[in-house]
Amino acid sequence: MPSVRPQDLYPEFGNFVSDLRTHSERLAFIRLDVETWNPDELRADTGSGWSSDETLVSLIDDLDRAESTLRAATANLESAWAALGRLASD
């Protein structure tokens, strides 16, 4: 017998998936905000060796990849949550 029953874990797992979905959506809005920044109005750290243009492009690319990865993880967890919902133990 499992120490935690599937039907007991299901609501908590659902909340986790919902929270992750919310974070994915928030990350998308953050990326959209960053994309509106004017690089001419930004300064990069003088010790970095990167221009503000290069830094902004890197930031947007990193946020885009993170958003894609988070959305893929969310989809996988939604599938796992659905599978968990089909299980029960006494």
pLDDT at 1 > cutoff 80 = no
CB 14 within 8 A of CB 83: no
Interval 74-83 mean pLDDT: 97
**pLDDT tier at 2, thresholds 50, 70, 90:** low
Mean pLDDT of 24-31: 98
Q: Is the pLDDT of residue 66 over 60?
A: yes
**Distant-in-sequence, close-in-space partners of 14: CB < 8 Å, separation ≥ 6:** 81
Higher pLDDT, 3 or 41: 41
pLDDT at 67: 97
The reported pTM is 0.84
